[in-house]
Amino acid sequence: MKKSFQILFIILCSIINAQNTANRFFYELTYKPNKDSAKLEKEIMALDIDKSKSVYQSYELIGLDSLANVIITESLKTGKAADTKRFGSKKETKFLHQVFKNYPVQEVVYKDQIFLDYYSYRENPNIVWKISNEKQKIGTYNTQKATTDYGGRKWIAWFTIEIPFQDGPYKFYGLPGLIVKVEDEAKNYSWELKGNRKIDHIKDTLYTEGFIKQSGIFTSKEISKEKFIEKYEQYKKDPLASMRQLISQVPTDKVPEGFSISQEMREGEKKMKEELSRNNNSIELHAKNK
């Protein structure tokens, strides 16, 4: 009887664990940050899928967020200043956005940071695919070609029915199987599936977003896509606008002796504008550079 109970317990645990697990697909993103340069950069992106939804984001962002959780939690427990130097051990990401899809996909939710504020918008991309008979072996997968127009670019995708998820990186979805590779005709952006593994669950919200929202200083809210683009254009013109407003509330007697806020702001703004000008090739031509 005891043996039967042990076997039943193992079976039930296995079923429950299987129900709670999700799939993480790793895509290598090769892209041109600057539209006036042929230089290419690479970053690993993650697409997490379970039976009801998916989340797409930078794999580096996941690691940075986990580290932020550790650093901030330690700081709050000890009362000491956060050891931000530890972030130096992590690779930087240029992609802070996330894309959420609920199945069956009716719309996508795009979320991103504009400086320290978090904004999201809902969109029905209305991606219409034209599937061809052309087939190709990519890695270990047998794939089939499909094309579409989206975001001001013409895209070529290769999907496989060997992985039965009608999803893909970024906002792409709606093919008879998982997208293994997708790129625009000019190869400004190219995603290719490089591997996958099981994870316990999908995490919907970044720790850093929750922490910033709790502070009450910065914003985390949903707006329209048009308003989002407008806010990003304003950010490009004045990247430290929200910081400038925040600093105006700091009492002058709390500023360390010999520290010039205005000088630091000028130098910071210059660096941010230089970074923005180097990364001027957005995925969607009418949208912000992310």
CATH number, domain with residue 62: 2.50.20
> What is the C-alpha separation between 235 and 117, in angstroms, rounded?
11
Q: Is residue 7 part of a domain?
A: no
pLDDT at residue number 254: 45
Those residues of the chain that have pLDDT short of 50 are 1-19, 87-89, 253-255, 258, 287-290
Q: Residues 212-257: pLDDT tens digits?
A: 566 666 678 999 999 999 999 999 998 888 777 666 555 554 445 5
pLDDT at residue number 64: 60
Q: Is residue 4 part of a domain?
A: no
pLDDT at residue number 202: 85
Tokens for 190, please give them: 């190219």
- Give the type of residue at 231: K
User: To which residue do tokens 């996958």 refer?
Assistant: 196
Tokens for 229, please give them: 């683009």
pLDDT at residue number 206: 61
Helices (H), the chain: 2-20, 59-78, 207-215, 225-237, 241-247, 261-278
Taking the CA atoms of the chain, what radius of gyration do you get in angstroms? 22
Q: Is residue 289 part of a domain?
A: no
Print the domain residue range for 54.
Answer: 17-223
pLDDT at residue number 17: 45
Q: Is residue 281 part of a domain?
A: no
Tokens for 235, please give them: 């950010």
pLDDT at residue number 253: 45
Q: Is residue 276 part of a domain?
A: no
**CA-closest candidate to residue 150, choices 133, 122, 130, 135:** 130
Q: Is residue 73 part of a domain?
A: yes
Q: Is residue 60 part of a domain?
A: yes
Q: Is residue 145 part of a domain?
A: yes
The total domain count for the chain is: 1
